Amino acid sequence: MSPGPEQLTLKKHQSVVIPSCTGPDAASVQWVNEILTWLYNDLVIVNELVQQWIVSMNEFSKKSVEEQGIGVELVRALDSHPPNLSNVFCECDTKDDVTIT
């Protein structure tokens, strides 16, 4: 569990733009936008998610070594070029599951 929000330490010329979601269902869009706002305001959670993403990418890459003969290992996401979300879209299916792309 996260101990709480960390303060963003940004250079004077930097700003954090929280991505916004679009989609046909207003309630789902609002829910996704609230999740994105929560994530962008709690860097502890974001750092944990990025670390898990790196682990998953490395596990996937290990499989391609056998198939392609070439391996790539991700070590960390640099602060200078952090991962970025854009064009976020959500859609509900018939079971009320939300797909976010």
- DSSP code per residue over 25-84: -HHHHHHHHHHHHHHHT-HHHHHHHHHHHHHHHHHHHHHHHHHHS---------TTS---
- DSSP 8-state secondary structure symbol assigned to residue 94: T
Residue with tokens 């609002």: 30
Q: What is the pTM of this model?
A: 0.62
Residue 89: pLDDT band with limits 50, 70, 90: very high
Structure tokens at 20: 């916004």
Instruction: Supply the pLDDT for residue 3.
Output: 56
Residue 69: pLDDT band with limits 50, 70, 90: confident
Condensed to tens digits (0 to 9), the pLDDT of residues 45-59 reads: 888 988 999 999 999
